[in-house]
Structure 1
Amino acid sequence: MKMPFRSYIWQCFAILTCMLSPALSAQQASEEQLAFFEKRIRPVLVEHCYQCHSRNAAAKEKLRGGLYLDSRQGILKGGESGAAAIVGKPAESLLISALKFESLEMPPAGKLTADVIADFEKWIADGMADPRDGQIAADRKIDINAGREFWAYQPLSQPAIPTVAGVQPGTPIDAFIIHKLQEQGMKQVGQADRSVIARRLYYDLVGLPPSIDQIESFVKDTRPDAYEQLVDRLLSSPAFGERWGRHWLDVVRYAESITLRGLLYREAWRFRDAVISSFNADVPFNVMARQQVSGDLMEAASREQREMNLLLTGFLSMGNNNLEDQDKAKLRMDVVDEQLETIGRAFLAQTIGCARCHDHKFDPIPTKDYYALAGILRSTESVVNANVGRWVELDMPLPEAEQKQLDAVNAQIAALKQEITKLQGSGGDNAPIAVDALEGIVVDDLDAKLVGAWTKSTSSKNFVGANYQHDGAAGKGEKSAEFTPPEPLEGEYEVRFAVAHGGNRAPKVNVTVWSADGESTTEVNQQKKPPILGRFVSLGKHRFTANTDAKVTVSTANTTQHVIIDAVQFLPVDLKGSPTKVVTDEDAKERAAALKVAQATLKKLEAERPSKIRYMTVSEQKEIGDTQVHIRGNAHNLGESVSRGFLQVVSHEDSPAIDDTQSGRRQLGDWLVSSQNPLAPRVYANRIWHWLIGTGIVRTVDNFGTTGELPSHPELLDYLASRFVENGWSTKQLVREIVLSSTYQLSSNFNENYSELDPENRLLSSMNRRRIDAESLLDTLLVTSGSIDNRLGGSLIPAGITTDYDFPHDSRRRAVYWPVFRNSLPDLFVVFDFANPSMVVGRRDVSSTAPQSLFLMNNDWVIQQSQQMADKWLAQHELDVQSRTEAVVYTILGRKPRSSEQQLIMQYVVAAGDDKMEQQRRWTQVIQTLFSSVDFRYIY
């Protein structure tokens, strides 16, 4: 019996996967895990545990239980009660049960909050990343001048282009690479095939696969500048901004929701689209950086530039903060901390957040520097305080003439709405009526003083204002309402009580009027339709004086059914006109006609009204000033005040001065990209190199501090950074220079003779083999199936969606436009290592696992795309089996099929005979298997 094609090809590709996948190294803590420890774990241990469980405590003879919590080894070894933690098993760890007060009760001063305990559970579950060595901490004073000697803080150099022996480098980049190789007695492999280079270039520059025609056109183009022209075409494609904008969205932790309650950032997509537009327009990166930090404070030469400035300031708003935290001082500082950590890693590759509780343990960043920066962001409003805080959203400002036009239209609309409300409310129509549509003084239920729990409702429509309220037919005698006019009354008034009547209402409700003549109680039947306007019951005429406390009270005592409260009207008896006039049929007809005209006019005005863009942003605080050091990061334990400023290690005499009347955010943006700050151009040039080559010159792309890796080619990095600045901070120019190098065009066939000299290919004797990312994979499936929707921009979140939980991710748009929800990412994103949208991610994890192949073979959405691709090629009846096989393989893998592959596929699909359904099924399986292959998932 012959093995089915799908099973056979799966075994082949499984073998290839094992051959091509890099071996896993011993588990190492990621930068993100270490940052989590420094921000969430170490400060708690220092504040609550070290006094009794550390080497310092032992030195002072204060150690308790033989337990050391100042090192990972100490925690694992444990004390008299056994190991304090078991890696990966928080539920079995004594430390967690003690924190929860389930066994031992630690710390003795009181139980820690649930979110802190959850942090410890996550830390243990994720492997207990911990850089501590458990030695007694010596007092360490940061020496800023000594810190400046570290390579990352040195001024940019202008390195000489090295000479190389026996070879003519194509570009200065190649000279730096070849020179380093020759120092080790190594050389580069040859160039990749032109079809391989084309596929590599398309994915790197636009994130999409080239078509067969595009590959063939380039392969056959013999002009000397054919490659250069292809590069320029791709750089000018709108897809470039989509691809490279997505890279930057990883870095700025872009998301469209927060973890808390799955609340949606409905306007975040405008920031995303602004980023994409900026990359397509090649906006200088130093301008983009300033726009994101302080765009709302920048001058603008045009309306378009002003809008981009404002939209990009949304960068500061998208942190994943606990807006439900009732400790508002702590919340305010947590927001600032998140912003500082993001700014530090994104633009400077510095872990600034590690200096919140103490001087940075490794880098020359004292706590005072942290709070100098924190003062700037504390002078910025990012969250509007409430029970559940809200981020800041504003309307995009319009030019003065347009704003006047909009104000005039809004005034017309408001007047029409008031007229419509009056027309709907007169004559007893079953429709709400606005408070301001009624005469006299009206006190709404929302302004009443309530005792007990009342429930708002709009079920019955004959109410006043926004709603009415009921007592739920519960708590009888314990609930009451008091309606008091906003100002003292003088004279005689008719007092009316509004009732949204109904069959389940109480028939005898005591309503009492307090006036100059004393108190007067009326028994109101709330089941009966009120006689005045279908809403009001008269409580009689009453005299009031300025010295009298005028009020109306409603009691639920002695009732069993629902008691309703809505509004109370105080109507002067000498008011002209008769508000209780009986409406005739003729009146009703005239009113209906007038209502129809008013509603039509309103609809037309609202359709023609100029729309305003709503956007996420921040704003300047009303109170601007310096902040105090928060001792051990505690917002309620304040130390000395620190003047607002910047990191001393990369600051000089000409750093921007901060005026007392300004937050300093504009100056922060200027300082980040100033000519005196070497970090920003180095960090960004290194990011571009990483995105194109597959690894950074500094592999820890988000950490240029002393715990990060050293650059493999420091002179090349400074050359790239200097060229970047010289070319006006142009992303496209630097991308162009790198992809035009011979190094970028190398074959990915690694010379095994160099496996000991350079096992990780850090010296780049060959090109790195890279797996395509989640977005490119999704986009490729849409492109090859013929179902992609290439429209630019916009939101994919439907109007009715209120949270991000269980969102049905499904679209034909490019992946960059799919909602990035922190609680529910698309399955494909999760399986293929999408960036964590809650933190800066300059370098994604890249895994190559069997579940990825299984996902591509079994996921319903992937199967659907495979079926559509099968239908597309089967519909081309002019193709024979051989031509169709070649076209399918070429489309998916970017190369022609090998003879063995072609023979196997043809043998399998021909067996379907003339059965159309079987042909479709077999071709679908072929396509799915190709999608599951290593050759599809990797760029060579």
Structure 2
Amino acid sequence: MKINTLTAAILLTALAQPSTLIADEISFTRDIRPILSNKCYKCHGPDEDARVTEMRLDTRHGLFGEKSAPHSPVVPRSLKRSEIISRILSEDPDIRMPPAANNKDLTADEITVLKAWVKQGAQWEPHWAFQAPQATKAPSRKHDWGNNPIDEYVIYRLKQANLVPSESADPHTLIRRLYLDLIGLPPTMKELDSAMTTVFHDDGQLNQDEYGNLVDRLLNDSRYGERWARRWLDLARYADTNGYEKDRDRNMWPFRDWVIRAINTGMPFDQFTIEQLAGDMLPNATPEQRIATGFHRNTMLNEEGGIDPLEFRFHAMTDRVATTGTTWLGLTTGCAQCHTHKYDPITHRQYYEFMAFMNNTDEPEMDIPDAAVDQRHQANLAKAEDIISELRTQYTKSGKDLEAEFTVWLTSQRNR
């Protein structure tokens, strides 16, 4: 069965969130950083203007300090020597953290998680957006449910939650789901009947090989790209109009079609990225690669009279920075537009350095050569000329003769 890696990458990008499969192991990214960012970063985080002490809990060095220090915010596997644990457990209101005045008290569950993390060795992880994906070994198979390694992860988590898998879908439902998932349309009656006779054995059991063949056929269907391109077009804030109060039409469809073709042809995700961010800068860039840069021409365009063009260019640039950050970096950069980000590792200065990079371009119009469109245009012109010639043979009068006949007709209509 073919796996479309570009579609997988788009899904992961659109839905990127940290996760782990082992519930009894504390993850810094999943379990600890959210607590620290919500309860501690206001005073001990990345914003140097808001920080009240030199102690930082948003960096590795800040959390663990020097190995030779008798007390650091966190000493792996030592609750007694970990200053952060001493502070959150203290009964002295002058020592206890977070301060009562901040109205950020830790819950009992949060304290338990922090203590468990320290006991387990206080493993630290960089921001999840900067962690390279790591291959994981599927849980050991101890049951007969499922057909592939992905199902091993599913059943593992279900068991942790004391749940059991749902009953297998009936054949009609399974085929319908497959069509809706991959191409966004239900199967026709003919397609459904064909699948019922080939994908399932006489006893109703699924034929894995034929099911895989059906999946491959749908992956190779042009409608597959049309359906899944929508996810990326949402990230690219695609629209066929300019927005704001006039909201006039814009010709952005070539970019839409480029995304569809990229998905249907299985373009590698790194190339997919390069062409959208810098396709026009590639050596001997093709029209297709230049069209791909339409990703950042999807910003809204204000055509209202009396506006300051530079003001709305600024708004367009901030939109491009935000979109690039969320789509490719996994960062919400918007906060750093006004101040150093409270949670994500991006400073106020870095934001405008990034924005200067985006703001270093012109926005020219682009004529897109398309032989098929040119041929249709010429064919339409020829057809129009034929129709005009035919009309001239039917209506031969002109000049004074035509005016006299029109006057007669008009008079008859008025006297009706």
Tell me which residue corresponds to 1:202: 179
2:150 matches 1:178: no
Is 1:363 aligned to residue 344 of structure 2?
yes
**Take 2:145 and 2:39, find their aligned partners in 1: how far apart are those partners?**
49
Partner residue of 1:395? 367
Of residues 287, 292, 296, the one that matches 1:307 is 287
The answer as to 2:216 corresponding to 1:229 is no
1:347 corresponds to: 328
1:373 CA displacement: 1.1
Question: Which residue does the alignment assign to 1:267?
Answer: 251
Using the TM superposition, give the Cα deviation of residue 178 of structure 1 relative to its aligned residue in structure 2, in angstroms.
Answer: 1.4
Distance 1:180 1:132, change over 3 A: closer
Over 3 Å counting, the alpha-carbon distance change for 1:265 and 1:283 in structure 2 is: farther
- Aligned mates of 2:140, 2:134 — CA distance in 1: 18
Partners of 1:201 and 1:168 in 2: CA distance? 20
User: Residue by residue, what CA displacement relative to the aligned partner does 1:100-140 show, whole Å, maximum 9, x if unpaired?
Assistant: xxxxxxxxxxxxxxxxxxxxxxxxxxxxxxx999x999723
Give the distance between the partners of 1:397 and 1:212, measured in 2 at CA: 40
Report the alpha carbon displacement of residue 142 of structure 1 after superposing the two structures with TM. Answer: 8.9
- Choose the corresponding residue for 2:242, options 248, 258, 268: 258
Matches within 5 A, 1:430-449: none
Change over 3 Å in CA distance of 1:224–1:178 after alignment to 2: closer
Report the equivalent of 1:332. Answer: 313
Q: TM-score, with normalisation over the residues of structure 2?
A: 0.56
Q: Which runs of 5+ in 1 are unaligned?
A: 1-130, 383-391, 399-605, 609-940
Counterpart amino acid of residue 205 in structure 1: L
Residues 317, 359 of structure 2: 8 Å contact kept: yes
Is the helix fraction higher in 1 or 2? 2
Paired residue for 1:317, among 297, 300, 308? 297
Task: Report deviation, 1:228.
Answer: 0.7
Query: CA 1:190/1:270 → structure 2, altered by over 3 Å: closer, same or farther?
Result: same
Q: Cα distance, 1:144 vs. partner?
A: 5.7
**1:667-746 equivalences in 2 (<5 Å):** none
Whether the aligned pair in 1 keeps the contact of 2:236 and 2:295 (CA below 8 Å) is yes
Q: Distance in 1 between matches of 2:168 and 2:242?
A: 46
Q: Distance in 1 between matches of 2:165 and 2:352?
A: 49
Q: Is the 8 A contact 1:252 1:342 kept in 2?
A: yes
Please name the residue that 1:456 is paired with. none
Amino acid at match of 1:279: I
Distance 1:185 1:247 in 2: 33
CA distance in 2, matches of 1:169, 1:224: 12
Q: Which amino acid aligns with 2:211?
A: Y
1:167 aligns with 2:144: yes
Q: What does residue 96 of structure 1 align with?
A: none
Following TM superposition, by how much is the alpha carbon of 1:333 offset from its aligned partner in structure 2, in angstroms? 2.3
Q: Which residue, out of 239, 243, 263, partners 2:227?
A: 243
What CA distance in whole angstroms lies between the structure 2 residues aligned with 1:265 and 1:342?
22
Q: Deviations over 1:42-70 (max 9, x none)?
A: xxxxxxxxxxxxxxxxxxxxxxxxxxxxx
Deviation per residue, 1:360-416 (Å, 9 max, x gap):
12211111221221121111124xxxxxxxxx3122479xxxxxxxxxxxxxxxxxx
Equivalent position to 1:139, from 50, 66, 71? 50
Aligned AA (1:178): I
Q: AA paired with 2:256?
A: R
Q: Is the 8 A contact 1:163 1:179 kept in 2?
A: no
1:310 counterpart letter in structure 2: R
Whole-Å separation in 1 of the counterparts to 2:189 and 2:242: 42
C-alpha offsets along residues 658-697 of structure 1, whole Å, 9 cap, x if unaligned?
xxxxxxxxxxxxxxxxxxxxxxxxxxxxxxxxxxxxxxxx
Distance 1:275 1:265, change over 3 A: farther
Partner residue in 2 for 1:26: none
Please state how far the C-alpha of 1:253 moved relative to its aligned partner. 0.8
What secondary structure sits across from 1:395 in the alignment? Answer: coil
Query: How far apart are residue 143 of structure 1 and its match?
Result: 5.0
Q: In the alignment, residue 341 of structure 2 is paired with which amino acid? A: H
Alignment of 1:269-288 (within 5 A): 269-288=253-272
Identity of aligned residues (%): 32
User: Relative contact order (alpha carbons < 8 A, sep ≥ 6): 1 or 2 greater?
Assistant: 1
SS in structure 2 opposite 1:337? helix
CA distance in 1, matches of 2:314, 2:58: 27
Which whole-Å deviations, capped at 9, do the CAs of 1:507-542 have from their partners, x for residues lacking one? Answer: xxxxxxxxxxxxxxxxxxxxxxxxxxxxxxxxxxxx
State whether structure 2 residue 190 is matched by structure 1 residue 213. yes
Deviation at 1:323, TM superposition (A): 5.2
1:591-636 Cα offsets, whole Å, 9 max, x none, are xxxxxxxxxxxxxxx959xxxxxxxxxxxxxxxxxxxxxxxxxxxx
Alpha-carbon distance between aligned partners in 2 of 1:187 and 1:164, rounded to the nearest angstrom: 15
Classify 1:245/1:151 alpha carbon distance in 2 versus 1 (closer, same or farther; 3 Å): closer
Report which of the two has the higher share of strand. Answer: 1
* Equivalent pair of 1:294/1:313 in contact (CA under 8 Å): yes
CA distance in 1, matches of 2:163, 2:144: 13
Counterpart secondary structure, 2:234: helix
**What is the deviation of 1:341?**
0.8
How many Å separate the matches in 1 of 2:329 and 2:209? Answer: 37
Alpha-carbon offset, residue 247 of structure 1: 2.2
CA contact (8 A) 2:287 2:368 kept: yes
Separation of aligned partners in 1, 2:162 and 2:244: 56
Given that residues 161 and 172 in structure 1 are in contact (C-alpha distance below 8 angstroms), is that contact kept between their aligned partners in structure 2? yes
1:393 aligned counterpart, secondary structure = coil
Q: CA deviation at 1:239?
A: 0.9
Cα offset, 1:330, TM superposition: 3.2
Contact 1:295 1:310 in 2 (8 A): yes
Give 1:318's aligned amino acid. Answer: N
For 1:268 and 1:280, locate their aligned partners in 2 and report how far apart those are by CA, in whole Å.
19
Compute the displacement of 1:145 (Å): 5.2
Within the candidate set 378, 383, 390, 2:359 is matched to 378
CA distance in 1, matches of 2:353, 2:327: 19
**Secondary structure, in 3 states, of the residue corresponding to 1:295?**
helix
* Amino acid across the alignment from 1:381: D
| Post-superposition offset of 1:310 | 1.0
Residues 846-886 of structure 1, C-alpha deviations (whole Å, 9 max, x = no match): xxxxxxxxxxxxxxxxxxxxxxxxxxxxxxxxxxxxxxxxx
Q: Report the Cα distance in structure 2 between the residues aligned to 1:607 and 1:226, rounded to whole angstroms.
A: 46
Q: 1:249 to 1:219 in 2, by over 3 A?
A: same
Residues in 2 aligned to 1:349 and 1:143: alpha-carbon distance in whole angstroms: 17
Matches of 1:266 and 1:258, distance apart in 2: 6
Equivalent-residue separation in structure 2 for 1:132 and 1:185 (angstroms):
32
Over 3 Å counting, the alpha-carbon distance change for 1:189 and 1:263 in structure 2 is: closer
- Contact 1:241–1:277 (8 Å) recurs in 2: yes
Q: Do 2:242 and 2:250's aligned partners in 1 also have CA atoms closer than 8 Å?
A: no
What corresponds to 1:154 in structure 2?
131
2:275 partner SS: helix
TM-score, normalised on structure 1? 0.26
Q: Is the 8 A contact 1:357 1:367 kept in 2?
A: yes
Deviation at 1:312, TM superposition (A): 1.3
Cα deviation code 1:903-924 (max 9, x no counterpart): xxxxxxxxxxxxxxxxxxxxxx
AA aligned to 1:211 is T
> Could you say what secondary structure the match of 2:286 adopts?
helix
Structure 2 Cα separation of the partners of residues 143 and 153 of structure 1: 15
Distance 1:340 1:245, change over 3 A: same
Deviation at 1:322, TM superposition (A): 3.6
**Cα contact 1:194–1:218 (8 A) shared by 2:** no
Stretches of 4+ aligned residues off by more than 6 angstroms = 135-138
Corresponding residue of 2:164:
187
Q: Is the 8 A contact 1:268 1:314 kept in 2?
A: yes
Shift of 1:220: 2.3
- SS of residue in 2 equivalent to 1:155: coil
Displacement of 1:336 in angstroms is 1.1
Residues 269 and 257 of structure 1: is their aligned pair in 2 closer, same or farther, counting only changes over 3 Å?
A: same
State the one-letter code of the partner of 1:395: D
